[in-house]
Amino acid sequence: MDKTVKSPSRTRRWVVKIGSALLTNNGQGLDHGAITGWVEQIAKLQGDDLEVVLVSSGAVAEGVSRLGWQQRPTLIHELQAAAAIGQMGLVQAYESKFQQFDKHTAQVLLDHDDLSSRERYLNARSTLNTLLALGVVPVVNENDTVVTDEIRFGDNDTLAALVTNLVDAELLVILTDQSGLFEEDPRKNPDTPLIRHASANDRSLDAVAGGSVGGLGRGGMITKLQAARLAARSGANTVIAGGRDANVLLKIFAGDEVGTLLVADSPPLVARKQWLAGHLQVRGTLVLDDGAVRVLQKQGKSLLPVGVSTIQGEFTRGEMVCCVDSQGQEVARGLVNYGSAETSKIIGKSSHCIVQELGYCNANELIHRDNLVLI
């Protein structure tokens, strides 16, 4: 292991995510024996003064199993029904098993609106911090019973990364049915070596991360890599490891070389920037000229109308938009000061022309630097 990497054993707060395939033994119903093992490990970690937030998949998969369906449904109302049914079994399992170790649990269901609203974001943060201070294990899941495609996180890997940002955790542990991230697809090349550690922002890793291979969850290795990058924005390292490895969490805590360690190699973003970076739903796109890209990336300034060449989509004042370069590569995102109709009239023009074009001026900047985060 790279000696410059912060050892996971010295962290104070972890977020642990367990995937559907592990929890349900590949769709055969909740694997209570495995759950007991993870719960026992988390209880021991708490005994070592480590705070743990558990992000648990499995509600939909458990519901599918209880209903006797042969595969995960695709219709949103069927997914919501399966989640509502499966959530009962999932919560009951965690509550009963943590009680064996005199630990309290709390169910926390989140959707994208909870983290895109600044007020609700801070409320969620306060609730989780209070639960951790009380020694309670928060069990977090996406609110699948009411969520729609428009406000879906996409997968619980992403949710776990956002929760890592939310509670300022030092380490995100993603337990999966694979041993970690391999240099090649292990299904095609069983002898391919495991990547032991790398930078979370190493773009060469994209080539070795594939999609989801199972029908139980929505994620795959690529979503875990993306989650590691999102967690890295708040300075958190990520470990992707095999959940069936005996005492895997205790091994990570002891500093053993387990799975793949993806290191956050950039300083944490300030709290508001973390919140902005965590927005998954954007309402429009601003295409920037090369000069504007340089100003944002090199000088940290606000985005002015003159630096925008075209716009895409419809949005209103205060909504999130992404900023891309001339090749379509996202460089930033932020809260826009003008709606799309207004923006279309002032792009490519100097700020002093805003009043002339609109008859008023809300701000000289299209996006103020305090409301903008680089990607």
Q: Are residues 287 and 265 in the same domain?
A: no
Q: Report the half-sphere exposure of 261 (CA within 13 A, side-chain side).
A: 23
Domain boundary among 227, 250, 274: 274
Which residues, in sequence order, are CB contacts of 278 under 8 Å at separation 6+? 115, 162, 165, 166, 230
In a domain, 2, yes or no: no
Q: Are residues 171 and 287 in the same domain?
A: no
Q: Which domain holds residue 334?
A: 282-374
Q: What angle do CA 336, 340, 345 make, to 5 degrees?
A: 105
What's the whole-number mean pLDDT along residues 28-42?
92
Q: Please tell me the predicted confidence (pLDDT) of residue 148.
A: 52
Q: Is the pLDDT of residue 11 over 60?
A: no
Q: Please tell me the predicted confidence (pLDDT) of residue 219.
A: 47
Q: What angle do CA 170, 160, 273 make, to 5 degrees?
A: 65
Q: Are residues 240 and 305 in the same domain?
A: no
Domain boundary among 246, 274, 302: 274
What's the whole-number mean pLDDT along residues 341-347?
96
Q: Are residues 152 and 28 in the same domain?
A: yes
In a domain, 208, yes or no: yes
Q: Is the pLDDT of residue 217 over 60?
A: no
Q: Please tell me the predicted confidence (pLDDT) of residue 1.
A: 37
Q: Are residues 268 and 148 in the same domain?
A: yes
Q: Are residues 261 and 368 in the same domain?
A: no
**Cβ–Cβ < 8 Å for 137, 105:** yes
Q: Which residues of 200-221 are buried (b: 16+ CB within 10 A; e: fewer)?
A: beeeebeebbeebebebbbbbb
Task: Report how far apart, in Å, the C-alpha atoms of 266 and of each of 52, 195, 197, 269 are.
Answer: 24, 20, 16, 9
CATH code at position 101: 3.40.1160.10
Q: Please tell me the predicted confidence (pLDDT) of residue 3.
A: 35
Q: Please tell me the predicted confidence (pLDDT) of residue 215.
A: 41
Quote the mean pLDDT of the chain: 87
**Cβ–Cβ < 8 Å for 365, 303:** yes
- Total-model pTM: 0.80
Q: Report the half-sphere exposure of 326 (CA within 13 A, side-chain side).
A: 7
Domain boundary among 239, 274, 309: 274
Q: Are residues 339 and 249 in the same domain?
A: no
Q: Are residues 153 and 298 in the same domain?
A: no
In a domain, 3, yes or no: no
Q: Please tell me the predicted confidence (pLDDT) of residue 144.
A: 61
Q: Which pLDDT band holds residue 14 (cuts at 50, 70, 90)?
A: very high
Q: Are residues 267 and 291 in the same domain?
A: no
Q: Please tell me the predicted confidence (pLDDT) of residue 145.
A: 62
Q: Which pLDDT band holds residue 210 (cuts at 50, 70, 90)?
A: low
Q: Are residues 30 and 106 in the same domain?
A: yes
Q: Is the pLDDT of residue 212 over 70?
A: no
Measured distance CA(323)–CA(293) in Å, rounded: 9
Range with the poorest average pLDDT among 56-65, 253-262, 285-294, 327-336: 56-65
Range with the poorest average pLDDT among 204-218, 222-236, 289-303: 204-218
Crossing angle of helices 156-167 and 221-232, in 10° steps, is 10
Q: Are residues 258 and 292 in the same domain?
A: no
pLDDT tens digit string along 134-191?
Answer: 999 999 988 766 655 533 455 789 999 999 999 999 999 999 988 999 988 777 888 8
Nearest residue to 98 (alpha-carbon basis) of 49, 158, 139: 139
Q: Please tell me the predicted confidence (pLDDT) of residue 253.
A: 96
In a domain, 251, yes or no: yes
In a domain, 1, yes or no: no
Q: Are residues 253 and 304 in the same domain?
A: no
**Cβ–Cβ < 8 Å for 93, 32:** yes
Measured distance CA(290)–CA(47) in Å, rounded: 53
- Reading the block at residue 310, the tokens are 């075209």
Number of domains comprising the chain: 2
Nearest residue to 54 (alpha-carbon basis) of 5, 98, 85, 96: 98
Measured distance CA(115)–CA(108) in Å, rounded: 13
CATH code at position 340: 2.30.130.10
- Identify any residues that bridge with 16 across adjacent strands, giving them in sequence order: 54, 173
